[in-house]
Amino acid sequence: MNETAILLASSLSVSLGGRAVLHDVSLALSSRHLVALVGPNGAGKTTLLRALAGLVPSRGTIEVGGDMLSSLTLQERARRFAYLPQGHQVHWPLPAKDIVALGRYPHGAADPARLTEKDAAAVMQAMRATDVVALSDRRITELSGGERSRVALARVLAVEAPVLLADEPTASLDPRYQIEVTTNLRAAADRGMLVIVVTHDLGLAARFADTVLVLSEGRLVSQGPPQDALSDKIVADVFRVRTYRADHERETVIVPWAEV
């Protein structure tokens, strides 16, 4: 297998409530990669993301940075994986900076009012990267959807984990913010992280990802560079759609066009 792989999964299977959701998924992913995880609704994308982070019990083995996931404590896992769930829910109207500071929780910084210099620097850097410094003291409930998603992204960046898992970070965002959030994730990958993004947007996946994983009915049916992994045949088989394809500004364009 790939020697530089930071995240290895072999024969990963997950059952939820007696129903098999993931079957025998194996993958090897490297740092500095943006990986798009695509598949129809119910294919098991979110479950795979959760299983990789150790948030749901799974059979098979997961290795992260050379360690077995099962041998790591909850805190050690939290330092390896930054996880952004769907919807970026925040239950209380907290100031944006306190939300971002939660990213330092795995590093022992439990109180946002008492951050060490290192933690404060990480929070600041994450907020700069997503351009939310000006929102620091605003309550999360006062922010627009786009601003909220950037704050949520800053929280996971502040973890400074080698692996970032994001579950549909662009859902319900307007086109501008979709591009902005994806660009942020791309930049995080370029800085050296492994970024895995669940998305329904084949266009964004094709354009920004280094690797695309296609999940269908709990099985990994295709993986590789976007053009190969999202070939006409795969897309037709898995998503039941035809696509329009083109090159624009030297990047791949894939647009779902019609049902097949």
Partner 1 sequence: MVTADTNAATRRRAMVLVALIGLVGGLAVASLGVGPVKLSPATAIDALFGGGSEVQRIIVQQIRLPRAILGLGIGAILGLSGAALQGLLRNPLASPSLFGAPQAAAFGAVLVIALGWADVRSFALPSAAIVAAFASVFVLLAIAGRNAGLLLLILAGLAISSLAGAATSLTMNMSRNPFAALEIAFWLLGSLEDRSFRHVMLALPFIVVGAAILLSQRHAFRALSVGEEAAQSLGVDVGRLRLLVILGVALGVGGAVAVAGAIGFIGLVAPHLMRPLIGYDPGRLLVPSALTGAALLLAADIAVRIIPSTTDIKVGVLTALIGVPFFLYLIVRERRALSGGVA
| Contact footprint for partner 1 (CB under 8 A) | 50, 53, 55, 74-75, 77-79, 81-85, 88-95, 97-99, 102-103, 105-106, 110-113, 133, 136-137, 139, 152, 155, 159
**Looking at beta carbons only, is 4 or 75 nearer to partner 1?**
75
- Which residue in the block uniquely carries the two structure tokens 């050379």? 66
**Looking at beta carbons only, is 99 or 229 nearer to partner 1?**
99
Can you list the positions of beta strands (E) in 44-125?
Answer: 59-64, 67-68, 81-84
CA 159, chain centre distance (Å): 14
Could you tell me the smallest distance in angstroms from the CB atom of residue 113 to partner 1? 5
What residues contact 52, with CB distance under 8 A and at least 6 apart? 7, 9, 12, 62, 81, 163, 165, 196
**Looking at beta carbons only, is 101 or 209 nearer to partner 1?**
101
Could you tell me the smallest distance in angstroms from the CB atom of residue 188 to partner 1? 16
Residue 80 exposed, middle or buried by CB count within 10 Å (0-12, 13-18, 19+): buried
CA 2, chain centre distance (Å): 21
Could you tell me the smallest distance in angstroms from the CB atom of residue 51 to partner 1? 12
Could you tell me the smallest distance in angstroms from the CB atom of residue 77 to partner 1? 7
- Report residue 129 as tokens: 């990267």
**Looking at beta carbons only, is 93 or 225 nearer to partner 1?**
93
Q: How far apart are CA 33 and CA 186, in angstroms?
A: 8
**Looking at beta carbons only, is 33 or 77 nearer to partner 1?**
77
Could you tell me the smallest distance in angstroms from the CB atom of residue 136 to partner 1? 5
